[in-house]
Amino acid sequence: MAGSSIAADRHTPAVQAIDRGIELEAENGLAKRFGDHAHIHVTSFNQKVLLTDEVKDADIEGEASAYAKALKNSRSVFNELTIGPNSSFPSRANDAYLVSKIET
């Protein structure tokens, strides 16, 4: 599956690898930092980082954005986080399914 997405993408494999590295580093770091107080999805495209989903309060929202901006390869951050309770697991699973269908 990864091979087909790389072949379909017009960006070089190196740029795709950098974006994937940003996503992994940010998601893992933010999950460790905020635990159950946030559910943050990270998408990177051309080293531009998009933060989506939910955080408990405005302080976490600001800290998450600052964390993403500080990442080595991050050029800019678009913070689309919503302040409120975390969505349910079935809702997130459905979102992930839809994203995977769109990306394919």
pLDDT digits (tens), the chain, 104 positions: 455 454 556 778 899 999 999 999 999 999 999 998 999 999 999 999 999 989 999 999 999 999 999 999 999 999 999 998 776 667 667 666 766 766 66
Instruction: Please say whether the beta carbons of 83 and 55 come within 8 A.
Output: yes
Q: In what order do the strands lie in the sheet with 48-55?
A: 38-45, 48-55, 76-83
* pTM exceeds cut of 0.75: yes
Instruction: Please say whether the beta carbons of 77 and 69 come within 8 A.
Output: yes
Domain boundaries of the chain, sorted by first residue? 2-54+61-83
